[in-house]
Structure 1
Amino acid sequence: MDEVKTGVRYLLMICLMLQGMGALAGEAISLRTFSGSGYNLQPENVAVVVNTDQPESVQAGEYYLNVRQIPDGNLVKVSIPGSPKKLSAQYFAQLKQEIDAQLQPRHQVIVMMWTAPYAVECNSITSAITMGFDPEQCANTCAPAKHPNRYFNSRSFQPFTDMGYRLSMLLPVQSFEEAKALIDRGFASDYSAPAATAYYLTTSDKNRSSRAQFFPPSGRVAQRYLEIKNLKADSIRDVQDVMIYQTGLVSVPYLETLQFFPGALADHLTSAGGDLLGTSQMSSLRWLEAGATASYGTVSEPCNYWQKFPNPAVLLKHYLMGASAIEAYWKSVAWPVQGVFIGEPLASPYKR
């Protein structure tokens, strides 16, 4: 019964938020509700964690500090031999203790410079770092979350100060060259606000279209030069203006034909997108390889609760308000225990 109440509470929050956004349909979308944003994440607020057993992780971390002008004292060094995909709860507890010992109150955000590990038993490593490891979810991964995300669609601009949450994201390091390209895309996105399009696809896969009810209607956000296209289709191809792409399929075709703007967010609702190095379904890494700047996927079977995936309306709202990629993505997932956030966290194309 408590789970039902939790779900209803979040549904009501979404409905009120959508009502507040006014006419998301029509010739142009008003941004009155987006004025007065307080998003102002600074380099000194970001802790950069590197794995000293991976030379590419250390190299990418040092490059990130330089590009984003993050203080050298914000570099956190840990040792994870072998780079396993999944950590045990016991191993993770030791790792988190080692990371926490090197953090300061000013750190609101943590970026981990590696691809693996990306899971802690059935939890994602990003949720475990931010909210703590939740063993209850592993008893039944298809159950609703018992510990919802208090940052979800909140007014907070300082999550650690306000809630004790240090938002975390993996910046994948398959190679230094790929990590560098991702970091450069994120940096290039800042303040850019290009003439772009947000694509929302309701596909023929009904089970994986559970969040289609929250897709914004087609329209134009004139103040942000953003066109919204709400489509009933399994894919798009040969388009050159992608800022947001959200869909629901096991595998998304034609990514190689798309052009993503720096700062683009893209994800697909499926069970194992967060199993980054798995083979059963399309990995969320494919979005970054295609040119997106941040993405999301679940590391264990979540079933198709919309609350376990980025809510499209909430994500759009906060990104257009000037949130960074990490802030917007974390604010859009009500139950993120099983979901891993990946990408360049500070990308901010709509920063004011």
Structure 2
Amino acid sequence: MHRATRLLMIMLLLVLARYLAPPAAWALAPEEVAVVVNTEVGDSLELAKYYMQRRRIPDDHLIRLRVAANERCSRHEYDKRIREPVRQALAKLDPERRIRCLVVMYGVPLAVLPIPTKQEDEPQAQGVKGETAAAVDSELALVLADDYPLAGWLPNPYFIGFGGKATQLARDSVLIVGRLDGPDPATVRRIIDDTLYAEQKGLRGRAYFDARWPKPADTKLDGYAMYDASIHAAAEGVRASGRMGVRLDDKEQLFQPGDCPKAALYCGWYSLSHYVDAFDWVRGAIGYHIASGECATLKGKDSQAWCKRMLEHGVAATIGPVNEPYVQAFPLPELFFTQLVEGYLSLGETYLVSLPFLSWQMVLIGDPLYQPFSPR
């Protein structure tokens, strides 16, 4: 199928879904959000209260965990210290399942370690089907689900690209999950403040898209080629929206220092765990870099991973994987950015409908309530 035709069909499906679904399905509200904190980390609760006050989230929508203050936890720890307490809290707080979103705060572990094999010297099964490591947030998206396979990924029933096809997961078992996290508490507070500032003033600046190759003539693409073409399509979509100026680079070299003043939106690839400081980020900026393990740590002192460094340099929201995700697990740039600039969906909803897989490696860092653009 021609790429332009495929994209048109995807957009049509979204428009139909918006008109056929109940209005609440596309209007994330503060009363539909619960906030998850780790009481073993002092700043976690303080930041949660600050966020809830600024967003007017009900006080009783606070879920308290007690889990070791590490970025990674075992599957046993996740089940006992995170999954079950959240399930129990939601059952009491929300018996009618009106909570649609969880906000995970600074101090809650970032990733779930793989399940150990029976023999300590037996290598972990290779390939997607055998991998049991995952992002905590991606598992929490399924905290309402009962039993599901832990090895590999599960197709996301909200992903636009699946076009309404039946998936193993039911939509009512899936929650939006975003994380307010970063290298330190000051960064988290800055994210909250910048998000609200950009909502009030409008997200203004320029969009930067960093492809590696010219736009392809071939329409039968997969893997890296498909995602590179999707970056081209994202640039075209943002340009067509008229929201801001767009710069698209299609050379192999990444943007270099000084290339990206007043950066408001960004997507590019591929510099593995080596952030290139090319950007002067505006308040409320959103962007992500397509490369493996760019959210493997937010606290590592010497880490040059893109998520950590982008947060340190000023973005308000980013996306990245905690382990090797395989390229097809990233949100498709053309879907993420075209939905974002339409303005109908919050950041969390935009992420959900552009994310192919759950129970996997991807994390959204940022306020899921964030709406940087007013609807058309």
- Aligned pair 1:340/2:356, yes or no? no
Residue 135 of structure 1 corresponds to 150
Residues 115, 287 of structure 1: CA spacing in aligned structure 2 closer, same or farther, 3 A cutoff?
farther
Contact 1:198–1:243, Cα closer than 8 Å, also in 2: yes
Q: How does 1:1-352 map to 2 (within 5 A)?
A: 16-18=6-8, 39-81=26-68, 83-94=69-80, 95-103=82-90, 104=94, 105-121=97-113, 122-131=133-142, 134-137=149-152, 145=153, 147-153=154-160, 162-172=171-181, 174-190=183-199, 192-203=201-212, 211-217=227-233, 218-219=235-236, 221=239, 224-233=242-251, 234-238=254-258, 239-248=260-269, 249-251=271-273, 253-255=275-277, 258-276=279-297, 277-278=299-300, 282-303=305-326, 305=327, 307-322=328-343, 323-336=345-358, 337-352=360-375
C-alpha RMSD of matched pairs (Å): 3.3
Residues 269, 223 of structure 1: CA spacing in aligned structure 2 closer, same or farther, 3 A cutoff?
closer
State how far apart, in whole Å, the 2-side matches of 1:67 and 1:280 are. 31
* AA at the equivalent of 2:156: N
Cα-to-partner distance string for 1:126-180 (whole Å, 9 max, x where unaligned): 111003575212xxxxxxx3x1111112899xxx994321111221154332211
Q: How far off its partner does 1:231 sit?
A: 1.0
Residues 292, 312 of structure 1: CA spacing in aligned structure 2 closer, same or farther, 3 A cutoff?
same
Aligned residues: 316
Partner-residue secondary structure (3-state), 2:155: coil
* AA at the equivalent of 2:30: P
Unaligned runs of 5+ in 2: 114-132, 214-222
Cα-to-partner distance string for 1:233-262 (whole Å, 9 max, x where unaligned): 41144333322111112145553x533233
State how far apart, in whole Å, the 2-side matches of 1:35 and 1:44 are. 21
* AA at the equivalent of 1:112: V
Partner-residue secondary structure (3-state), 2:374: coil
Q: How far off its partner does 1:41 sit?
A: 1.3
State how far apart, in whole Å, the 1-side matches of 2:341 and 2:16 are. 10
Larger radius of gyration between Structure 1 and Structure 2? 2
Q: TM-score scaled by structure 1?
A: 0.78
Unaligned runs of 5+ in 1: 1-10, 23-31, 138-144
Contact 1:293–1:347, Cα closer than 8 Å, also in 2: no
- Identical counterparts, % of pairs: 23
Cα-to-partner distance string for 1:52-100 (whole Å, 9 max, x where unaligned): 111100110000011001110111111113x122122221112211012
State how far apart, in whole Å, the 1-side matches of 2:16 and 2:262 are. 25
State how far apart, in whole Å, the 2-side matches of 1:20 and 1:124 are. 27
Residues 192, 316 of structure 1: CA spacing in aligned structure 2 closer, same or farther, 3 A cutoff?
farther
Partner-residue secondary structure (3-state), 2:245: strand
Partner-residue secondary structure (3-state), 1:131: coil
Q: How far off its partner does 1:208 sit?
A: 6.5
Q: How far off its partner does 1:230 sit?
A: 2.1
* AA at the equivalent of 1:299: V
Partner-residue secondary structure (3-state), 1:330: helix
Residues 12, 86 of structure 1: CA spacing in aligned structure 2 closer, same or farther, 3 A cutoff?
farther
Q: How far off its partner does 1:113 sit?
A: 0.8
Contact 1:325–1:348, Cα closer than 8 Å, also in 2: yes
